[in-house]
Structure formats: structure tokens, C-alpha cells
Amino acid sequence: MQSEQITTLRYALIGAGAGVFNMHRSALKLPGMKVVAVSDINPELGQQRAAELQCPFYVDHQQLLTEVRPDVVVVMTPHPFHARIAIDCLQAGSHVLVEKPMAVQVAEADAMVEASERARRTVGVIFQQRFRPEIRAARQLIQDGKLGHIQHVTMSAVWTRTARYYQSAGWRGTWKGEGGGVLMNQAPHQLDLLCHLVGQPARVFAWTRRLLHAIETEDTVEATLEWPDGALGSLHISTAEADQSEYLKIVGTHGQLEIQGGQLKAHGLEEDITSFVATSPKAMATPASHDLPITLDQSQIGNHETVYRAFNTAILTNTPFTSGGAQGIMALELANACIYSNYTRSPVELPLDRQKYATLLTQLADKTI
């Protein structure tokens, strides 16, 4: 396929009956793309989507791939099926855009990336939060060195869910159905932002708990993190609290930033703390600080339309997609590492041992641990 000759990308949707489809609906109307087929194992829901999108419906995604040969496939099935379906699509010659999380365990994500490389096709994860203006501005500040050497990171997010939420589908909060709880459902975006801004940690020590919900998996995670360059951090994410907030603070030797409620604040130090603590004549003091100028580009926002535009551009220009390949894996590997750390009661070094995690997940799903 010569991408430079394509003016309109032909899209297919697998798992089109999923509730998350509503987040995709407006993006599917963007110029430069056309939905040519949908698939779902639920014929009633799938045919409704096909009628809405005015395209053929298939129960069997393999038949869709063979007969339609779409340029791009969007996978929005429950995530235990992401890896197998994505690999089928890549092997059939389609680019793949998959809903978060990329897969259930990082070994599956590795296989997806390997399949994409063999097929010379792009596999990307829908991490729309990367496109939020304040996130892009924060990343630019860090890349420009405005914070200096990163020393500490604090992330906290609470997405309150009720018992009714977990009761709404039998797969929610189960090891076989989700492969985890808050870490695999609500947390992927926060874990991705953490890795996107400051890189993937090298060591994790985590505790996962069921504080309120009658589910198999965790509703809360608390973790301490260490990065390869010595930076330290903490992570807290829960569906069992009433806070309903998202907070991120990144502290460096030359400044710091805070993101809360969609707002970004950043401060720079007049003197790098490294030299200040070594030379200041005062026993207890901090350097003078100043507000850092922040430019928020409102031309893009963190929604599915922005992701689709970026994915189309990456395909048509043969350039990397922001959360494609190894970039897409980072959040999943961190989630897996937190679960593994809790059940082994030990710190976990990344990269995570894939085989050991697969064994643990099997034991959890079979209720033998």
C-alpha cells in the first residue's frame, strides 16, 4: 500500500456494539476517512451500527478482513480480545487503532507491536488525554529543560464508581473479563500521561486493595515509583473514594509544574536547587521563583477526533503516531507491574518479567491464589 497515493482511508470497526462507540461517533465523520464495514458478535447491536453508518455488517471479523480489506481497523471490543483481533488485522494488511488498555498483559502488547513491524503497519492506542492543551504545554516545558532534572512526581486520580457500575456487566472487576480493576479500566490514561511526560519508571512497589467494592480485582492502587535517573514518585488511583479529582505535580531542580482541574501552573527557580543548596549562605532557604510563561494551544483538545486526525496523518505521511508501538505499551506494563508487586509483596524492576506475570494472571483468573 502506497500511503502517499491515498486521499481517503477506509475504516472498519470491530466491536462496534460497545458502549464506547459513542465516544467515536463524531470522529467517524471526519473528512479523509470512510467507514466501510463494522463487526460485532452481537448481531442486533452490530446491525444497528451498520445501519447508522450505512455500511455492511459482519459477525465474523475475519470475513470482514478478507472481503473488505480496510486500510484501518478500530478495535473497541472488551480488552481481553484486543491482542488477538489486532494481530489478525495487522496480518491482513490493516493499520490498527485500539481502545485502551492496549491489551490485558504486556506480553500480548509485545506481540501486537511485533506483528505491526512485520506487516509494516501502524498499531496505536487511543490515549486522547495526551492531546489536552495543558498536557502538551507541560511536555514542552519539560522537553525545553525548564524544570531542570526531574526529582519527584506525584499523581493522584479518583474516578468514583458505584456498585451499580460494576453490576452493569459481568466482566467488570473480574480477572478473566478485565485482567484487573481500576488499573486496567480507569487508570490507563493517568499511567500513560505519567510515562508520556517523565518516562516509564524503572522500579515499582505497589499495593492494590478492594476498599469498598465487591469485585475480584482492585478498586484502589497506591504505588511508589523510581525512575532510571533517580527521580522518585507516588501514584494513587481509586474508584472507591469521593474526591473526584485528578492531580499531577512534577518537581525538578530548576522548577515545577502542577496540573489540576484542566489547569496548568508552572514556576521556575532563579537558581538551580543543586547549586543553591551547595553555595547559599543561609541555613534554611529556597531560591527565588517566578511564573513560567505558558502557551496553551487550543487548536487541539483531548478527544477522539484529535486522535483520529493524528492517526490519519501518521499513516498518510508515514510518520510515528504519538501513542503507537512502544509508546502505547508503557502504561500497560506499569499497570501489570503494580499488580505483580502487590501479589508478590516486593518491588518490581521494569521491564516486567512477562512469563512470571502471565503465570500470576492465570492463577488469579483461576482463583488459585
- State the pLDDT confidence band at 244, using cuts at 50, 70 and 90: confident
pLDDT in tens, 207-232: 999 999 999 999 999 999 999 999 99
**Residue recorded with cell 483531548:** 302
Same structural domain, 180 and 226: yes
Same structural domain, 106 and 85: yes
Same structural domain, 120 and 78: yes
pLDDT in tens, 126-153: 999 999 999 999 999 999 999 999 999 9
Residue 219: predicted pLDDT: 98
By residue range, what is the domain housing residue 274?
133-300+331-365
> Minimal CA–CA distance to 240: which of 307, 186, 319?
186
Helices 106-119 and 82-91, interaxial angle, to 10°? 10
Query: Mean pLDDT for the chain?
Result: 96
What residues contact 306, with CB distance under 8 A and at least 6 apart?
Answer: 128, 131, 300
Same structural domain, 99 and 81: yes
Same structural domain, 122 and 139: no
Same structural domain, 354 and 264: yes
pLDDT in tens, 249-297: 999 999 999 999 999 999 999 999 999 999 999 999 999 999 999 999 8
Mean pLDDT of 40-61: 98
CATH number at residue 40: 3.40.50.720
- State the pLDDT confidence band at 32, using cuts at 50, 70 and 90: very high
Distance CA 133, CA 369 (A): 44
R_g of the chain, CA atoms, integer Å: 22
Same structural domain, 190 and 223: yes
- State the pLDDT confidence band at 243, using cuts at 50, 70 and 90: confident
pLDDT at 197 over 70: yes
DSSP code for 352:
P
- pTM metric for this prediction: 0.96
Same structural domain, 267 and 278: yes
CB 144 within 8 A of CB 367: no
- State the pLDDT confidence band at 6, using cuts at 50, 70 and 90: low
Residue 5: predicted pLDDT: 54
Same structural domain, 315 and 275: no
- State the pLDDT confidence band at 81, using cuts at 50, 70 and 90: very high
pLDDT at 3 over 90: no
Same structural domain, 87 and 161: no
Please name every residue paired with 189 in a beta bridge, in sequence order, or none if there are none.
Answer: none
Across the beta sheet with 246-252, the strand order is: 289-291, 263-269, 255-260, 246-252, 150-158, 232-238, 220-226, 203-209, 348-349
Q: How many Cβ atoms from other residues are within 10 Å of residue 245's Cβ?
A: 12
CB 193 within 8 A of CB 219: no
CATH number at residue 159: 3.30.360.10
pLDDT at 360 over 90: yes
pLDDT at 1 over 80: no
Same structural domain, 195 and 315: no
Residue 4: predicted pLDDT: 44
